[in-house]
Amino acid sequence: MNDLSPHPATSPLAHEVERRRTFAIISHPDAGKTTLTEKLLLFGGAIQLAGQVKAKADRRNTRSDWMSIERERGISVVTSVMTFEHGGLVFNLLDTPGHEDFSEDTYRTLTAVDSAVMVIDAAKGIEARTRKLFEVCRLRDIPIITFINKMDREGRDPFELLDEIEKTLALATVPMTWPIGRGRDFAGTYDFAARHVRLVDRDEDAVPMAADDVAGIARIAPRLDAAATAEELSLVQEACGDFNLRAFREGHLTPVFFGSAIKNFGVGDLLKGLGDHAPAPRDQAASSRVVHATEDRLSAFVFKIQANMDPNHRDRIAFARLCSGKLTRGMRVKLMRTGKSMSLNAPQFFFAQDRALAEEAYAGDVVGIPNHGALRIGDTLTENEDITFLGVPSFAPEILRRVRLPDAMKAKKLKDALQDLAEEGVVQSFRPRDGSPALVGVVGALQLDVLQNRLEAEYGLEIRFEPSEFALARWISAENRADLDKFVAANAFSIADDLDGDPVFMAKSAFDLRYRGEQAPAIRFADIKDVK
Ligand code: G4P
């Protein structure tokens, strides 16, 4: 138990909670997330899974291909949860879909983790997607550990990379390790706390050494200028402050590790960093109180729904993150939204592509709950206590489309289908107040394909997407009801209602949004809507 642990050691669940680390990897496509995931699983002994993470081509034939879209494209639409044990700790790695399968699930997954690893390509630095995902983490005060990847290649100067993190993300950096040599001359890393060097070709054996040991460096990296390297190490040690656990936990500071996922180098140090510093399952804010992870009674919230995992049964799996208590298979829980109780007869753990019945689970764990539509995103499950968790928000869509239905007779059916699928979190649906055809919004283009595919397969609706004159959607609110009404009346052709009936302003461009915002200072424009 580390010194910032909020969990009383006396709780019977404290041991299980303390040894859990639930995290995600955030990165821009191609930075190395898949490779790093695979190497982390190798450390956890889940070797049989490791090849499967990467084998994009093979996925066409694997069980993760639940949907035809996936089969066609050979990509995974599913957010997997990968659980592995290492050094007595249980790591739950929640996969955040990237590339073409980037979607709202990517953002929502970040509401279910306690920390995140930010992978940066050493040659590219902070890229757009990383920044966006970082912003979502920051909103939730999720602590970030940085892994600067691809050190085996020519990259940017490490000082410059740290500077970029500090400036663009307003996040202090503390290098935990430092690269010795660069690109082709990359020999390994120096670990400031452990005072040792780890060599690229001998990841297991660290060589104890002081940072200013010129002769020592000359011995291990004969091709480098040893004096200059020792000077650089001493400089970094002096210039960069000590790692401050509290600042990290509060999201102000990131510890930085350098490595090469492809060479499996630096991955062990990163995993140790996660184990030593990343928080165990955190307290979670609920409607009436804060729920502590070590409380005896079970509580959980649903952050993702996966439909059609088994096409023969049209089943749905709700992915629930446990926040407190202990789950045992067969127990009854209360679904807060409806007040009804349900039995957890077949909760499941997921291991990349395999699943197994979950006999027991603790705070921080993610279980899949099969259901036929009873569970929705944001739902709270409890052991008969009336609390609702706050915080599986909606994120403003980045792509908006009009839905055209050639067969006008089916308009009502389309409305109901969009409602169903929006509740499930497949897309967001907006009903324009001027009565024009429905708009759908997504953050990733693949969500549109999934919507089209499911409307046809499950509802027999053939639809077309048409470009929308709107580019951005923002939830609007005002201190004063009259101000909001005035704005809505003045912009009648740009207002829509979301799934919950909340008003949304649709802007034609960023300029349009800014301009209207300046004209109506009393209106708040939000790109994230929290669940009430
Ligand atoms: P992603 O999930 O973040 O999109 O990245 P992924 O792991 O798929 O890696 C993207 C590319 O970068 C891959 O090359 C991968 O082999 C390479 N890569 C990952 N880590 C490292 C590293 O530490 N050093 C170097 N030099 N390369 C790395 P690719 O050619 O696109 O794919 P593949 O043909 O290797 O599968």
Give the residue, by CA position, lying nearest to ligand 1 atom 6.
Answer: 32
Q: What is the pLDDT of residue 1?
A: 42
Name which of 31-45, 120-134, 143-157, 362-376 the model is least confident about: 31-45
- pLDDT tens per residue, range 194-234: 999 999 877 567 889 998 899 999 998 888 899 999 999 99
Compute, in angstroms, the gap from residue 395 CA to the centroid of ligand 1: 29
Compute, in angstroms, the gap from residue 426 CA to the centroid of ligand 1: 29
Higher pLDDT, 236 or 59: 236
Strands, E, within 242-379: which ranges?
253-258, 284-285, 290-291, 299-307, 316-324, 326-328, 332-335, 340-343, 348-351, 354-357, 360-362, 366-371
Using CA atoms, how far apart are residues 140 and 389, in angstroms rounded to an integer? 14
| Residue 532 reports pLDDT greater than 70 | no
Q: What is the mean pLDDT of residues 109-129?
A: 96
Using CA atoms, how far apart are residues 210 and 408, in angstroms rounded to an integer? 76
Q: What is the mean pLDDT of residues 295-315?
A: 80
Mean pLDDT of the chain: 87
Q: For residue 149, say whether it is annotated as part of any ligand binding site.
A: yes
Q: What is the pLDDT of residue 296?
A: 94
| Residue 242 reports pLDDT greater than 90 | no
Q: What is the pLDDT of residue 54?
A: 42
Higher pLDDT, 95 or 264: 264
Q: What is the mean pLDDT of residues 350-378?
A: 84
Burial class of 330 by CB neighbour count within 10 A (0 to 12, 13 to 18, 19+): exposed
Q: What is the pLDDT of residue 83?
A: 84
Q: For residue 99, say whether it is annotated as part of any ligand binding site.
A: yes
Q: What is the DSSP string of 134-167?
A: HHHHHHTT--EEEEEE-TTS----HHHHHHHHHH
Q: What is the pLDDT of residue 7?
A: 54
CA dist 144 → 23, 24, 63, 79, 254 (Å):
10, 10, 32, 20, 6
3-class state of residue 443 by DSSP: coil
Using CA atoms, how far apart are residues 221 and 188, in angstroms rounded to an integer? 9
Which tokens in the block code for residue 296?
């005896």
| Residue 180 reports pLDDT greater than 70 | yes
Residue 268: strand pairing partners: none
Residue 241: which pLDDT band, with cuts at 50, 70 and 90? Answer: confident
Give the residue, by CA position, lying nearest to ligand 1 atom 26.
Answer: 150
Pocket of ligand 1 (CB under 6 A): 27, 29-35, 98, 149-150, 152-153, 260-262
| Residue 506 reports pLDDT greater than 50 | yes
Which tokens in the block code for residue 111?
């509401």
Q: What is the pLDDT of residue 55?
A: 41
Residue 50: which pLDDT band, with cuts at 50, 70 and 90? Answer: very low
CA atoms within 13 A on the CB side of 35: 20
Q: For residue 151, say whether it is annotated as part of any ligand binding site.
A: yes
Give the residue, by CA position, lying nearest to ligand 1 atom 24.
Answer: 150
Q: For residue 15, say whether it is annotated as part of any ligand binding site.
A: no
3-class state of residue 90 by DSSP: strand
Q: What is the pLDDT of residue 44?
A: 74
Which tokens in the block code for residue 519?
């004209």
Name which of 201-205, 249-253, 262-266 the model is least confident about: 201-205
476 and 484 in contact (C-beta within 8 Å)?
yes
Smallest CA-to-CA distance from 229 within 169, 171, 182, 173 is with 182
Q: For residue 31, say whether it is annotated as part of any ligand binding site.
A: yes
Q: What is the pLDDT of residue 265?
A: 92
221 and 186 in contact (C-beta within 8 Å)?
no
Q: What is the pLDDT of residue 446?
A: 85
Using CA atoms, how far apart are residues 494 and 183, in angstroms rounded to an integer? 52
Ligand 1: residue of 26, 34, 35 to mutate (most ligand atoms within 8 A of CB) is 35
Q: For residue 279, say whether it is annotated as part of any ligand binding site.
A: no
Give the residue, by CA position, lying nearest to ligand 1 atom 36.
Answer: 54
State residue 111 phi and psi, 5-degree precision. -80, -10
Ligand 1 atom at shortest distance from the alpha carbon of 29: 4
Q: ∠ CA 52-56-57 to the nearest 5 degrees?
A: 110
Compute, in angstroms, the gap from residue 82 CA to the centroid of ligand 1: 20
Q: What is the pLDDT of residue 2?
A: 47
Compute, in angstroms, the gap from residue 25 CA to the centroid of ligand 1: 15
Q: What is the pLDDT of residue 391?
A: 66
3-class state of residue 61 by DSSP: helix
Q: For residue 255, say whether it is annotated as part of any ligand binding site.
A: no
| Residue 475 reports pLDDT greater than 90 | yes
Ligand 1 atom at shortest distance from the alpha carbon of 99: 4
Compute, in angstroms, the gap from residue 34 CA to the centroid of ligand 1: 8
Give the residue, by CA position, lying nearest to ligand 1 atom 11.
Answer: 30
- pLDDT tens per residue, range 274-297: 999 999 999 999 988 999 999 999
Q: What is the mean pLDDT of residues 457-472?
A: 93
Ligand 1 atom at shortest distance from the alpha carbon of 56: 36
| Residue 259 reports pLDDT greater than 60 | yes
ipTM of the complex as predicted: 0.97
Residue 269: which pLDDT band, with cuts at 50, 70 and 90? Answer: very high
Residue type, 35: T
Ligand 1: residue of 30, 39, 99 to mutate (most ligand atoms within 8 A of CB) is 30
Compute, in angstroms, the gap from residue 184 CA to the centroid of ligand 1: 17
| Residue 389 per-residue DSSP state | B
Rg, C-alpha atoms of the chain: 25
Higher pLDDT, 67 or 88: 88
